[in-house]
Amino acid sequence: MKTLVIGLGNPILGDDGVGWRVAEEVKRQLPSPFQGDGQGTGVDVDCLSLGGISLMEHLIGYDHAILVDAFALDEPLGSILILKLSDLPNYSAFHTTSTHDTSLNNAIELGRCMGAHLPDEVEIVGIATRRIYDFSEELSAPVADAVPFAARVVLDLLKQEIRKSRRKSFAGVPLAILG
Amino acid sequence: MTQRISIDPITRLEGHGKIEIFLDEKGNVANSYFQIPELRGFERFCVGRPIEEMPLITNRICGVCPEAHHMAAAKAADAAYHVDPPRTAKMLRELLYSAFYCTDHTTHFYALGGPDFIMGPDAPVAERNILGVIHKVGLEIGGKVIQMRKYGHTVVEMIGGRKVHPCTSIPGGITKGITEEQRKEIEEMGRWAIDFAQFSLKIFNDIVLGNKQYVDLILGDVYTHHTYYMGTVDENNKVNFYDGKVRVVDPNGKEFVKYAPKDYAEHIAEHVEPWTYLKFPYLKNIGWKGFVDGSDSGVYMATPLSRLNASDGMATPLAQEEYDRFYKTLGGKPVHQRLATHWARLIELLYAAERWVELVTDSEITSPNIHTKPTQTPTEGVGIVEAPRGTLTHHYWTDERGIVTKVNLIVGTTNNYAPIQMSTHKAAASLIKDGNVNEGLLNMVEMAFRAYDPCFGCATHSLPGQMPLQITIHAVDGNPVKVLKQFC
């Protein structure tokens, strides 16, 4: 089971960069035996500012992916939303779509047509934001407060996925270590 | 009674925007406004930082063309430090940039511009995308597109240090060179890219130029404007993406001005309209006369088509052949039909691939002489490159320590804000008659600006794409009289 966690967004556009902060926190808290090496062992964690085909290209070779992203729906700031890519209610709410080419769903279909191995399902952890048009490296307080919670959500999803694999070890690591 | 049509958000457009079309009582277009939300506070964000950081920060402005911002910022920093990078450093930057161009132009043609022609402007919206293209033309195309992108990313990573958001260009040059082994690999990929570009031009030739309906559409009046054209040229007035002087030709194709990057402010000014935060650049020495065509209007365009119009040709042989065929087919220079931009983009793709091979086979490309140490006190500097979407200008001022005190950017698409406004208005006026509005017509309005490949958000916040599109027609009392939807 090759797993990838991606923080999406623009780290210099205020709350838009929250996905990066969460991904960094996940990487920090991930028990060391599960830290990815980029070669398929453990959980790889990355931070990207991409969508569409470019994002799909980063998912090639993985069995499972979790995207962490800012979203701009009318939810209270800092609210956390968990859903699957196939359930996205609004294509425009996340970075998964690139206006330069196509949606991530379309891009994944394109990749599969080309024979690429891509995750069967992509999970999304979204954090509600609104201040995404002002250049800043700072998160607003409610969004910053949500970072540890969102990181916990991602770690729990990873744990569930690992247990679902019904194996005694995950990427060569005994599951007991996960606690 | 006035009706209002909103196209919000626009499909397949960088960043996100909204078109408001106001109909008169007969149902014909009275006015239209192309509105874009602007990202704020970039100058404030940059002031106080060392100028060396600018190539790393500005490439975060845009998730689509970070390489263009990285290059313009590095060149502006070179200028601010009064330092001239060694030849090999310049070639490595341009090599990276050529590979990036191949990736970017490929993606635009196959995912954005191409579907309108390959699937047809009236095809269902769910099919007018890259998946529709590969299902219609064949899986082979999808594989080639992915391969082209992969090669482009590989070269950007080898020279730029990262697959996206390169980080190796610094004032005075570049931080890493390439080995002979890498050089050979890059050359092999570049030769493949030339074949791919020719393959793409053949598709355009067979599917678009071979279809009279499409040729008529391209040559028709709906997508035609007579404006000035801008592009960067080398010492022989041939197209160059990385370096040279900015040349502007008038609507008759005659050179109006050619200036060094540092002199841009003498030639470009910006007009403000009350209904948008974005400014409209225009030619200062002609003046702003409104959203109108002609030699007396300072409106200019900066796109692949503009670059071809503003030059005397391409600097590589295969691209030059295509350049000649382009003007012969379309009736001579300059070409004013905006939809021809898609063809011009493919000619540029071929040029970028040829230039890629030309640079990587230069005997000095593996030289270790890749950096000139800056020794002078920094002051101010301008860096200009041709971004895929238009001439990109970065201008920085610093104090004596090299700390940024002021910033001015004119990003590629901003040059084209006025022409895009004119094109969307003209397309709407031509295609929406007597209140007759349907999805196909609205897509053709979108086609008017899609040719420019606009990137107004100029940020990684890439919201729309193939996304919910709701078009609401309002009567003067505010009540919706008609709603069209897609992906909702």
Alpha-carbon gap: B146 to the closest alpha carbon of chain A (Å): 8
The answer, for B47 touching chain A at a CB cutoff of 8 Å, is: no
Same domain flag for B137 and B278: no
From the list B39, B40, B112, which residue is nearest A100 (CB)?
A: B112
CB-based contacts of B97: which residues, under 8 Å, 6+ apart? B67, B68, B71, B241, B242, B385
Structural domain for A83, as ranges: 3-169
pTM: 0.88
**Do residues B125 and B25 share a domain?**
no
Give backbone dihedrals phi and psi of B392, rounded to 5 degrees, phi first.
-110, 120
Interchain pair A51, B131: CB under 8 A: no
In contact, A23 and A45? CB cutoff 8 Å:
yes
Q: Do A84 and B448 form a contact (C-beta atoms < 8 A)?
A: no
Residue A176 within any structural domain of the chain: no
DSSP state at residue B60: G
Q: Which residues of chain A have a CB within 8 Å of the CB of B134?
A: 110, 113
User: What are the structure tokens assigned to A59, written together?
Assistant: 């998912």
Judging contacts by C-beta atoms under 8 Å, the chain A residues touching residue B107 are: 53, 100-101
d(C-alpha B455, C-alpha B449), whole Å = 11
> Taking CB atoms and an 8 Å limit, are B465 and A100 in contact across chains?
yes
pLDDT of B464 reads 28
> Residue B331 falls within a domain, yes or no?
yes
The structure tokens 């599917």 sit at: B207
> From B44, which residue of chain A is nearest by alpha-carbon distance?
A135
Note the residue count of chain A: 179
Q: Which residue on chain B is closest to A103 by alpha carbon?
A: B466
How far is residue B82 from each of residues A124, B53, B70, B172, B402, measured CA to CA in Å? 48, 17, 18, 9, 12
Closest approach of A24 to chain B, Cα-based (Å) = 18
Does B296 share its domain with B362?
no
Do B95 and B181 have their domain in common?
Answer: yes
Query: How high is the pLDDT of residue B118?
Result: 83
Q: Indicate whether B468 and B478 sit together in one domain.
A: yes
B21: which 2 tokens? 């079309």
Pair of tokens at residue A138 = 């700072």
Tell me whether residue A14 is in a domain: yes
> What is the three-class DSSP state of A77?
coil
Domain that holds residue B453: 3-39+434-486
Minimum mean pLDDT among B29-43, B98-112, B201-215: which range?
B29-43
Please say whether the dihedral angle defined by the alpha carbons of residues A147, A151, A157 and A160, taken in this order, is positive or negative.
negative
Task: Count the domains in chain B.
Answer: 3
CATH number for the domain harbouring residue A84? 3.40.50.1450
**Inter-chain CB proximity B63 and A92 less than 8 Å:** no
Q: What is the mean pLDDT of residues B370-393?
A: 96
Tokens 């990736």 correspond to what residue?
B103
B25 CA: distance to closest CA in chain A (Å): 33
Are the CB atoms for B465 and B12 separated by under 8 Å?
yes
CA distance B388 to chain A (A): 12
- Residue B275's CB is within 10 A of a number of other CB atoms, namely 9
In-domain check, residue B205: yes
A169 — phi, psi (to 5°)?
-140, 160
Interface of B with A in 63-92 (CB under 8 A): 63-64
Q: Could you tell me if A150 and A127 are in contact, meaning their C-beta atoms sit under 8 angstroms apart?
A: yes
Residue B274 and residue B309 in one domain: yes
Residues of chain B numbered 222-241 and touching chain A (CB < 8 Å): none
Test A51 with B465 for CB contact under 8 angstroms: yes
Rounded CA gap, B131 and B148, in Å?
Answer: 17
CB atoms within 10 A of CB B140: 11
Contact B131 A113 (CB under 8 A): yes
Interatomic CA distance for residues B321 and B108, integer angstroms: 22
For A118-139, give one letter per residue: b (16+ CB within 10 A) or e. Answer: bbeebbbbbbbbbbbbbbbeeb
Tell me if B161 sits within 8 A of B168, measured CB to CB. Answer: yes
**Where is pLDDT greater, at B64 or B351?**
B351
- Looking at residue A177, the DSSP 8-state letter turns out to be G
Residue of A156 and B16 predicted with greater confidence? A156
| Residue B164 within any structural domain of the chain | yes
Give the containing element (helix H, strand E) for B398: strand B390-398
**Alpha carbon distance B393, B248 (integer Å):** 15
Minimal CA–CA distance to B338: which of B310, B312, B306, B307? B306
Residue B435: pLDDT over 50: yes
B229 plus B255 within the same structural domain: yes
Q: B316 with B453, same domain?
A: no
In a domain, B379, yes or no: no
Residue of A nearest to B17 (CA): A99
Residue at A179 is within a domain: no
Residues 6+ apart with CB under 8 A from A71: A81, A93, A94, A126, A127, A128, A129
Mean pLDDT of chain B, nearest integer: 86
- Please tell me whether residues B117 and B250 are part of one structural domain: no
Of B61, B111, B461, the CB nearest to A53: B111
Q: Which of A57, A103, A113 sits opposite B134 (nearest CB)?
A: A113
Instruction: Look at A135 and B130 and tell me if their CB atoms are within 8 Å.
Output: no
Q: How far is CA A135 from CA A28, A130, A178, B365, in A?
A: 26, 13, 39, 38
**pLDDT of amino acid A49:** 84
CA–CA dist A155, A33 (Å, integer): 14
In a domain, B63, yes or no: no
Q: Is B28 helix (H, G, I), strand (E, B) or coil?
A: coil
- ∠ CA A145-A149-A153, rounded to 5°: 155
Question: Is there a domain that residue A155 lies in?
Answer: yes
pLDDT in tens, B130-187: 888 888 888 888 899 999 999 999 999 999 998 778 999 999 999 999 999 999 999 9
CA–CA distances in Å: residue B31 to residues A55, B4, B196, B391, B429: 38, 9, 43, 29, 9
Picking from B86-100, B121-135, B185-199, B365-379, which range would have the lowest pLDDT averaged per residue? Answer: B121-135
Tell whether A139 is covered by a domain: yes
- B360 is a domain residue: yes
Query: What region does B3 belong to: left with phi over 0, alpha with psi -120 to 50, or beta?
Result: beta
Q: Is residue B212 located within the same domain as residue B229? A: no
> In this predicted model, what pLDDT tens digit does every residue of B277-305 receive, in sequence order?
778 999 999 999 999 999 999 999 999 99
Q: How many angstroms separate the CA atoms of B237 and A166, rounded?
A: 66
Does residue B65 sit within a domain?
A: no
- Is the Cβ of B165 closer than 8 Å to some Cβ of chain A? yes
The mean-pLDDT minimum among A63-67, B184-188, B252-256, B352-356 falls in: A63-67
Residue B292 maps to a domain: yes
Both tokens of B169, joined, read 């260009």
- Per-residue pLDDT for B482 more than 70? no
Q: Who among A16, A53, A101 is closest to B461 (CB)?
A: A16
Are B344 and B307 contacting, i.e. CB atoms less than 8 angstroms apart?
yes
Pick the residue of A99, A112, A117, A118 with the most B CBs within 10 A to test the interface with B by mutation. A99
The two structure tokens encoding residue B16 = 């996100």
Q: Is the pLDDT of residue B104 over 60?
A: yes
* Chain A residue numbers touching B12 (CB-CB < 8 A): 99
Domain of residue B360, CATH code: 1.10.645.10
Q: Would the pLDDT of B8 be above 60? A: no
Write the single-letter amino acid at A70: A
User: Among B336, B359, B382, where does a domain finish?
Assistant: B336
Give chain A positions within 8 Å (CB) of B142: 110, 113-114
Instruction: Mark B462-481 as b/e (b = at least 16 C-beta within 10 Å).
Output: bbbbbbbbebebbeeeeeee
Domains in chain A, number? 1
Q: Are residues B341 and B329 in the same domain?
A: no
**B253 and B233: one domain?**
yes
Segments of chain A scoring below 50 in pLDDT: 90, 92-93, 168-179
Q: For residues A56 and A54, give the distance between their C-alpha atoms in angstroms, rounded to a whole number.
A: 5
Q: What is the distance between the alpha carbons of residues B295 and B292, in angstroms, rounded to a whole number?
A: 10
Count how many Cα atoms sit within 13 Å of the Cα of residue B145 in the half-sphere of its side chain.
Answer: 31
Residue A44 lies in a domain: yes
**Is residue A10 a part of any domain in this protein?**
yes
Summarised one tens digit per residue, pLDDT across range B452-470 is 877 655 433 333 233 333 4
Higher pLDDT, B25 or B35: B25
The encoded tokens of residue B178 equal 């390439």
Handedness of CA A139, A142, A143, A148 (dihedral sign): positive
- Indicate the residue among B336, B352, B385 that finishes a domain: B336
DSSP secondary structure, A101-170, as one string:
S--HHHHHHHHHHTT----S-EEEEEEE----SB-BSPPPHHHHHHHHHHHHHHHHHHHHHHHHTT-SEE
